[in-house]
Structure formats: structure tokens, C-alpha cells
């Protein structure tokens, strides 16, 4: 007669064997599921989860409410990570970040903006991280997705990534005070009727006002700029102030303003329009789309998520639309920008033309823009 203990032992042995067989059937599929994911996907999943635990990323951005909202809403909705944006004029926020770094304070993760203040400020301080190690997603890393491939501002091609490339009319006029056709050439700026009626974003500090000033120095010479100063141009370092002045008819036209500063007035129906391109042509720019990463960012995983999102299709659509500048991503539409006097490089320039006309690279900053700023200070101080 078979005892109860014997039956129990055999029953347990059978149950355990069945469990092992079932587990052996399930586990390979689970392991295979993980193994079937490419390496970048496994890395990305870990980074996103770690970024969520960090909770946020701190980004310095151009002084545009549309940019702030677009970036904050976009990353939060997509990944559940907060974006703390600090919006300010490039030159002032760069000085702040440098001062904090010297004091051992590391608050910012990234800075997105113009190139000159970054080239003359961040690069000499050595406070930037190489960007390539932060690139994970194939759609971001693959140069085929970008017009011109990967374009870097710094000579080392490591620290300042140019996500945008375009030609823009940073010249705007009040259509109640003049007709756009009255300015066919930069020489027309010197006509006596415009004396005291021209505004300019201060060319003594980095920005689009300095870009236009430097371009005119390059194509027209110093004597032209001396005569221009004789027109009693109105200067300001605040784009919004200049935008409001021209929108309300206190100036006939203004130089150095980008679309995002004028967008609220245009949307409100005020008589502001871009001047037609003067016959001498315009410079090419990377605008406010230059990406830099602070050394030892406080939120390294959140920074990686932000970088890959911003440089991806979705992020570039959000940023380009908010700021009114032309992304280099080939899968993002930019033709709508032409209505506002902006020609994305990928919609009308060859790569050779772009490199000839651009004035934001480290080489051009030192060769052209710094001498231009020195002349501006000499003539305007």
C-alpha cells in the first residue's frame, strides 16, 4: 500500500517539474523580447525612466513666450518631464551662467540661443559638454535627416550645434508710414527723409542687430556706417521695445528684429510688415537655434531626453513654428516662413552659398562680428 507521504512527495515533484517547464517556455520569450530591441532603444528607455526620476531639466531660451510654452508643453506631454525655461536676452543670460559657473553654481542644464555670445563667452570659459555623447535617437544622429548634414558653429565641431539655417529679413516697416518699395537698396537708408525714423537693435552687443551691422560693414564699408549713424538711428537692446515702437508708428522702419518679437503685434493686426529683400541680398544665419550643454548638467538624463526631443522632428516643428526661423531638418516644413520674410536654407540656398553668407560660426565671429562691434562702439558711444 502506497503511503500518503510518498504520494505527496511525488505530487510536489510533478508540480515543480511542470512549473520549471512553463517557466522555461516563458522566460526565453521575455529575454528574446529584450534582445530584439536595438541597443539605442534599450539605452533610450533607461534614459527616459531616469529622466522622469530627475523630474525636470533647466533650459535658457530666447525671450519668447511662444518658445517657452512650446518647449514646456511639448516635453511634459511627451515624456512627463518638466522643462524649467529661463527666457532672457542671450548676452545677459550667458554672463549670468558664466558668473554662476565661476562661483561653483551649476543650475542650468542647457542654453539655446544665438551664437556670438556663446562663442565669445562660453567657449573661452571651457564650460560646455561635447554634444555628440548626448545624441541617442537614430533620427537625430543620422546626418541624412539634416540639410547640410551636421553643422557646428565651433571650430572643434563639438560644443555648439546649429539646428537652423536660413536667410531672414530682420528689417520691418510700418505700412501706415511708408511703402516697402521705398527701400530697394541699403543705400536708401541714407535718404534724408528717413533721418530720425530708423530703429536698430543695438549693434554694440551680440544679436541680430549686430549681424545686420556687420553685414553692412562687410558689403558697404565703414564710411557707409558713419553716414548711417548720421541718420540719428534709435537704438535699443530690447527687441520688444523696438517692435512696439515701429508697430505703433513712432519709427518708419527698424533693423535687427526677428519675427518672434513682432509676432504679437502682427497677430493683433498692427501695420507691421517685412521689408522686401534689398538688392544687395542678405546674410545667412543659424538664428536662435544654437544648442549648447553646460558641463556636468544637474539633470543629465533629463538633458539627454530634451536634446533628442528638441533635435527630433517633433521638437524642431515646435521650435521653428514658435520662433519663426528655419530648421535644417528635412522632414519639417518651412515654406510657410516665406510669408514672414524668412527663407530656410533648405528651401532656396546651396550649401556653398550658405557657408559664404553665414556670419555666426566661430571663425566669422572673430573675423567679422567682433571688429563690427568695435566699430559700433567707436561710432555710437
Tally Cβ neighbours within 10 Å of residue 281: 13
How buried is residue 349: exposed, middle or buried, by Cβ count under 10 Å (0-12/13-18/19+)?
A: buried
Question: 41-165+286-348 and 170-281+372-380 share one CATH topology?
Answer: yes
* Cell 537655434 found at: 289
Tell me: the pLDDT tens digits for 116-170?
Answer: 999 999 999 999 999 999 999 999 999 999 999 999 999 999 999 999 999 977 8
Mean pLDDT of 14-21: 45
Boundaries of every domain in the chain: 41-165+286-348, 170-281+372-380
Q: What are the backbone angles phi and psi of residue 226, rounded to the nearest 5°?
A: -60, -40
User: 93 in the Ramachandran plot: left (φ > 0), alpha (ψ -120 to 50) or beta?
Assistant: alpha
Tell me: the pLDDT tens digits for 222-244?
Answer: 999 999 999 999 999 988 899 99
Distance CA 133, CA 131 (A): 6
pLDDT class of 8 with cuts at 50, 70, 90: very low
Of residues 212, 151, 187, the one with CA closest to residue 376: 212
Given this model, what pLDDT does residue 33 score? 53
All three cell numbers of 17:
517539474
Half-sphere exposure (Cβ direction) of 348: Cα atoms closer than 13 Å: 15
Burial 146-167, CB ≥16 within 10 A → b, else e: bbbebbbbbeeeebbbbbbbbb
> Is residue 58 over pLDDT 60?
yes
> Is residue 14 over pLDDT 80?
no
Mean pLDDT of 15-43: 61
Q: What dotted CATH number matches 41-165+286-348?
A: 3.40.190.10
Tell me: the pLDDT tens digits for 243-254?
Answer: 999 999 999 999
Q: Report CA-CA distances (Å) from 190 to 56, 182, 204, 354.
A: 51, 12, 20, 28
Q: What is the DSSP string of 112-181?
A: EE-SHHIIIIIHHHT-EE-SGGG---HHHH-GGGBTTSS-BSSTTSSS-EE-B-EEE--EEEETTT--GG
Lowest-confidence range among 4-18, 139-153, 252-266?
Answer: 4-18
Q: What dotted CATH number matches 170-281+372-380?
A: 3.40.190.10
- Nearby residues of 187 by Cβ (< 8 Å), 6 or more positions away: none
> Is residue 69 over pLDDT 60?
yes
Distance CA 13, CA 11 (A): 5
**Please, are residues 257 and 203 in contact by the beta-carbon 8 Å criterion?**
no
* Cell 512627463 found at: 80
Mean pLDDT rounded to a whole number for the chain = 90
What pTM, to 2 d.p., does this model score?
0.82
Amino acid at each position: 500500500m502506497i503511503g500518503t507521504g510518498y504520494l505527496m512527495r511525488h505530487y510536489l515533484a510533478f508540480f515543480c517539474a511542470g512549473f520549471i517547464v512553463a517557466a522555461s517556455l516563458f522566460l526565453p520569450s521575455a529575454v528574446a523580447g529584450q534582445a530584439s530591441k536595438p541597443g539605442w532603444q534599450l539605452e533610450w528607455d533607461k534614459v527616459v525612466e531616469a529622466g522622469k526620476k530627475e523630474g525636470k531639466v533647466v533650459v535658457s531660451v530666447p525671450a519668447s513666450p511662444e518658445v517657452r510654452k512650446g518647449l514646456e508643453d511639448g516635453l511634459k506631454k511627451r515624456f512627463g518631464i518638466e522643462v524649467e525655461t529661463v527666457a532672457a536676452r542671450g548676452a545677459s543670460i550667458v554672463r549670468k551662467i558664466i558668473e554662476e559657473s565661476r562661483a561653483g553654481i551649476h543650475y542650468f542644464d542647457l542654453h539655446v540661443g544665438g551664437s556670438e555670445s556663446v562663442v565669445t563667452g562660453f567657449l573661452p570659459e571651457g564650460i560646455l559638454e561635447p554634444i555628440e555623447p548626448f545624441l541617442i535617437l537614430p533620427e537625430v544622429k543620422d546626418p541624412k535627416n539634416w540639410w547640410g548634414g551636421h553643422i557646428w558653429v565651433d571650430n572643434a565641431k563639438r560644443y555648439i550645434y546649429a539646428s537652423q539655417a536660413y536667410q531672414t529679413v530682420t528689417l520691418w516697416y510700418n505700412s501706415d508710414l511708408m511703402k516697402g518699395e521705398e527701400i530697394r537698396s541699403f543705400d536708401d537708408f541714407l535718404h534724408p527723409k528717413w533721418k530720425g525714423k530708423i530703429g536698430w537693435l543695438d549693434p554694440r552687443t551680440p544679436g541680430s542687430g549686430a549681424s545686420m551691422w556687420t553685414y553692412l560693414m562687410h558689403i558697404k564699408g565703414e564710411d557707409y556706417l558713419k553716414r548711417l549713424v548720421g541718420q540719428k538711428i534709435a537704438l535699443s537692446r530690447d527687441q520688444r521695445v523696438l517692435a512696439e515702437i515701429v508697430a505703433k508708428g513712432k519709427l518708419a522702419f527698424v533693423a535687427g528684429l526677428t519675427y518672434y518679437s513682432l509676432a504679437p503685434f502682427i497677430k493683433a493686426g498692427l501695420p507691421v510688415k517685412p521689408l522686401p529683400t534689398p538688392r544687395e541680398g542678405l546674410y545667412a544665419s543659424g538664428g536662435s537655434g544654437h544648442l549648447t550643454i553646460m558641463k556636468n548638467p544637474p539633470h543629465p538624463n533629463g538633458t539627454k531626453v530634451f536634446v533628442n526631443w528638441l533635435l527630433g522632428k517633433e521638437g524642431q516643428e515646435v521650435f521653428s513654428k514658435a520662433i519663426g526661423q528655419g530648421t535644417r531638418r528635412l522632414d519639417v516644413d518651412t515654406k510657410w516662413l516665406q510669408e514672414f520674410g524668412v527663407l530656410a536654407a533648405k528651401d532656396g540656398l546651396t550649401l556653398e552659398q550658405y557657408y559664404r553668407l553665414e556670419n555666426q560660426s566661430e571663425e566669422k565671429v572673430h573675423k567679422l562680428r567682433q571688429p563690427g562691434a568695435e566699430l559700433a562702439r567707436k561710432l555710437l558711444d
